[in-house]
Amino acid sequence: MSFFGLDCARKKEIESERKLRANDREYNLSFKYATNAIKTSKYNFFTFLPLNLFEQFQRIANAYFLFLLVLQVIPQISSLSWFTTVVPLVLVLSVTAAKDATDDINRHRSDNHVNNRKVQVLIDRKLRSEKWMDVQVGDIIKLENNQFVTADLLLLSSSEPLNLVYIETAELDGETNLKVRQALPLTGDLGDDIEKLADFNGEVHCEPPNNRLDRFTGTLTYGGQKYALDNEKILLRGCTLRNTEWCFGLVLFGGPETKLMQNCGKSTFKRTSIDRLMNVLVLCIFGFLAFMCTILAIGNYIWEINEGSQFTVFLPRLNDNSAAFSSFLTFWSYVIILNTVVPISLYVSVEIIRLANSFYIDWDRKMYYSHNDTPAEARTTTLNEELGQIKYVFSDKTGTLTQNIMTFNKCSINGKCYGEVLDYTGQRIEISQHTDMVDFSFNPLADPRFVFHDHALVEAVKLENQEVHAFFRLLALCHTVMAEEKKEDELYYQAQSPDEGALVTAARNFGFVFRSRTPDSISTVEMGKQRSYELLAILDFNNVRKRMSVIVRSPEGKLFLYCKGADTIIYERLHQSCSKLMDVTTEHLNEFAGEGLRTLALAYKDLEEEYFNEWKQRHHEANTALEDREAKLDALYEEIEKDLLLLGATAIEDKLQDGVPQTIEELSKADIKIWVLTGDKQETAENIGYSCNLLREEMNEVFIVSSNSVEDVRQELRSAQMSMKQEPAENSVFLPERTGDERVKVISDEVVNGEYGMVINGHSLAYALEHSMELEFLRTACMCRAVICCRVTPLQKAQVVELVKKYKKAVTLAIGDGANDVSMIKAAHIGVGISGQEGMQAVLSSDYSFAQFRFLQRLLLVHGRWSYLRMCKFLRYFFYKNFTFTFIHFWFAFFCGFSAQTVYDEWFITLYNLMYTALPVLGMSLFDQDVNDIWSFQHPQLYVPGQLNLYFSKNAFFKCALHSCYSSLVLFFIPYAAMQDTVREDGKDVADYQSFALLTQTCLLFAVTIQLGLEMSYWTAVNAFFVLGSLAMYFAVTFTMYSNGMFLLLPAAFPFVGTGRNSLNQPNVWLTIVLTSILCVLPVVTYRFLLIQLYPTINDKVMFKVRRAKAMPPPLAQRARIRRTSSRRSGYAFSHARGYGDLVTSSRFLRRPAISLASGFPHAGRATTGFSPMGRSAGYSPTGRPQNTKPPDVEVTSLQMFRTITDPAL
């Protein structure tokens, strides 16, 4: 690139540590840090022409045509005019350059749109509105609610209590739940005081720019003190500020040095596998062309020595040139004449076909999403046929497979299942948009967006069913959700995960409204009555516990422990009296899991005051211990979370996009392997894997790789290999990776016994992608039917794609919807962007875009397969017709003294590819289809030949060359023999060069046209018009050019005067045409007949079915909906990172107080009473001790667990 002036400056030294000072641009500029401007475009005004031409001439054929152009301007060897090459070459280069320029202009517009966004920057002690691209490292900027974060910032202060800010990181990791960041108390005191902020001159020393999203290390030096900085104090570019009026931040990294841009891969020039194969074949053709020209040059030399001397009397040699020089000139003359083996029209036609097939994608109404008016878009025109060869699909999860919307779908309470709608006969009714919804108008605090269809549950609530009340009371209390009420009775929940928010929203709608919280209390509205519970402790969730509990004191003074978690974990801790209820609930859980729902079990326990006081004291001691603190706390949690009483279970639906399970199932049938690469949590990703049919219970085993050391990960991978294939891993079928200049070898696919899946987390994946283990990981993963990588960074996504590209001879596709997917999309052979909830970054970096994942099925199985099929047919036929055309020249050379005389009329040579054969082959390439789209969906196996390159490969090419060789022999020697001693009906001689040329070219045109008809599977009126019209055009042009008038007008240009009418009125000429056509076609028809009878392909079988069905596919069978059950549980409705428990009980989360806690709840049913045990557990205490009714006042501890409720309004 330095040749074009892009990298003239000496490369900047690698940065080892970043140093910057706030509000000191002069000091920071001395380090020459990057500005905040971004650049994703490839060219600028000055570099476009040289760079684009450089890329285009990487196509060997373009370089070859340039070489031919040079030859044609040399008069001694040129037998064709120079403009016959320069015009089409310039046309091809111009069309491609215009397309590339359009793509890059769109990238420039996108860059300009981002770079010209405005943000407030503190300059000269004033806030000024500046463009993003003018922001520099060390600047202090002000962000406001719902603004994008401009650069990577150190949070200084915010509008929220304790300097908290809430950010959404969907652009970075795909998660839409809010995350909390907190400034240092030192900088938090600056507030929004401009004078104080302008005087702030702290120095930051931190890590250099890198792509680690989850880690940051640095120090802030201010006022002679050093303060540690970590990821919790950093706002990354790509995040969005939420529910925070304003905040101030110090710019640490700008533009290309931000973590978001560090995770974005470079734009690369993508070429299809057919393009790469064509480069190889063109080299082979050039070699063969040189071989033919060498043979003819040697022939010319021998002929000149033996025969040529006899002609020098009346045809003297120019300048007395020797036979050797004549042979040298003949070599180059034949290079020009035989160049039609790779005509430039091939590349013009390829671009036209690709462009047209791109329009088919743009125009496809079945890929149009009316909900947000988004059509499918082919953003590149060079990769269409590659869509028919995909073997690996790498997909994001959040926003790509799912809508990231959690809904409370069903529940089981005290052995009764709610959520299904039954008709009067007791049969379940399929829920649709027309199904009656529950009316929540009795509840003024209900969320209007909440939808539920089972009226029985709301009736149970209104009838004050104690078990149902306790169930929703638990959901309203046992969580770490934060409530915001900016307007009276308008509640907004900020949940750590969407599913936890869905559970609290469900409780809210059924009359148990979580209203607000403090560090030591939770305020609710239960069936219209205000209630305040004293929050004594939160036993927080983690990945080992897989449950969370809260201990509360009710307004009546009773102590309760409420617990929710994975059913297997909860069941181990239930009291033995719950066995019957467990059996019934287990059946319900199996049904929920079978439907792909995310399940939780709920339980509670009464606590005695005396026991709890003693437990609280031990808890305080454990919480302040310096050694083994976590282990001691876990033991205490285990002790108190036992002998629980089961309440029931919840079922949350993580709403998949429409048609995702069906799409994945169809793609799997097409032998496409799908890997999900997500930044989400392991359990969440696994649940989605099951609900969308990626993972299935029918699989022999799903391997979980989650170790935290190199050796443990290696051992897990090897044990998985041993399970799948009962042979030692040392027998693996792969060759070592590249050493020196050797090419990387590919790992071949291995047959395994059964179907397997693999789930691997980000920590383990980091080890698996290391140089020493990448092949082990790849081999194991490729033996699995489905792979899910969770908690992965954007760069890891790209590394996984690159690994498969490197060692597998397969075409890859990456699909995603957020900025965190950009690097993966750029790395894959084909990138697809979903225009969804997370902005347009993925779409702008993609090759294709649409609105829903389900459209991928149509993109690949229909458009991709048709494009690949059409392109392969086009190439096979194009090479056939041009090789046949060229080989006839080769045979003729032996009969014309190797004089570089053309066998055809020059006008026929000019118009053969331009007019006579162009439209028919284009018609086939634009409209042909072996079966229609419906049959393509019904038989996804039709896609497999594309993955195996069966339609066009080196073997197919050489078969095509042999076929052309045979046809050329027939097309030259049959007319030659037929014309040799033939006379007309009137006794005049017919055997002249012009008549022979006309007969040969007519036979050639008929033969290649009939061959095209055999290739075509789908005839349309346009195809028929193109085929018949081209033949008619040939005869019309021939008779016109061979007419007396054209000869009299330009005698030198039209020498074949009268040849057409003199030859084509002879019966033996037409007999020769028929004979050559039959002899050319007969072996092809015979070969295909035997092949279909003896070795039918999947295409042959399906096309036979189509013909039997008379092109009308049978109606799809209506499958009865079968209720599935499953013993696998589908996850937990809260986050799988450590919970917000510490935050909730530390006062850090405090927000503005709600406007009012008054409730306008209408009274429903009988007067509500305090909490009491219900059903079979009424009056029961698992410990056998009497229940306490009122707790004594106790002293406040560091846990803030015991405070007396003093609010008189409650």
Q: Which residues are catalytic?
A: 396
Q: How far is it, in rounded angstroms, from Cα 1035 to Cα 998? A: 11
Exposure of 1046 by Cβ count < 10 A (0-12 exposed, 13-18 middle, 19+ buried)?
A: middle
Among 406, 179, 555, 572, CA closest to 563: 572
121, 139 contact by CB (below 8 A): yes
Strands 673-677 and 390-395: parallel
Helix (H, G, I), strand (E, B) or coil at 394: strand
User: What element of type H or E holds 26?
Assistant: helix 25-29
The string of DSSP letters for 68-115 reads: HHHHHT-TTT--S-THHHHHHHHHHHHHHHHHHHHHHHHHHHHHHHHH
Helix (H, G, I), strand (E, B) or coil at 406: strand
In sequence order, the 6+-apart residues with CB closer than 8 A to the CB of 529 are 1159, 1161, 1168
Q: How far is it, in rounded angstroms, from Cα 544 to Cα 108? A: 49
Phi, psi of 1009 (to 5 degrees): -70, -40
DSSP code, position 1133: S
163, 183 contact by CB (below 8 A): yes
Among 597, 581, 577, 439, CA closest to 510: 439
Joined tokens for residue 499: 């599913």
Exposure of 1018 by Cβ count < 10 A (0-12 exposed, 13-18 middle, 19+ buried)?
A: middle
**92-130 burial string, b = 16+ CB within 10 Å, else e?**
bbebbbebbeebbeebbebbeebbeeebbbbeeeebeeb
Q: How far is it, in rounded angstroms, from Cα 164 to Cα 183? A: 7
Among 395, 435, 438, 354, CA closest to 866: 354
Cα–Cα separations (whole angstroms), residue 356 to 363, 831, 924:
10, 20, 12
Residue bearing tokens 């002000």: 142
Among 245, 228, 254, CA closest to 153: 254
The Cβ-side half-sphere exposure at 701, using a 13 Å CA radius, reads 13
Q: How far is it, in rounded angstroms, from Cα 732 to Cα 776? A: 9
User: What element of type H or E holds 945?
Assistant: helix 944-947
In sequence order, the 6+-apart residues with CB closer than 8 A to the CB of 367 are 361, 375, 376, 850, 855, 858, 859
861, 936 contact by CB (below 8 A): yes
CB atoms within 10 A of CB 639: 11
Strands 390-395 and 482-487: unpaired
963, 880 contact by CB (below 8 A): yes
Joined tokens for residue 850: 């649409």
757, 676 contact by CB (below 8 A): no
Q: How far is it, in rounded angstroms, from Cα 858 to Cα 369? A: 13
Residue bearing tokens 């988004």: 374
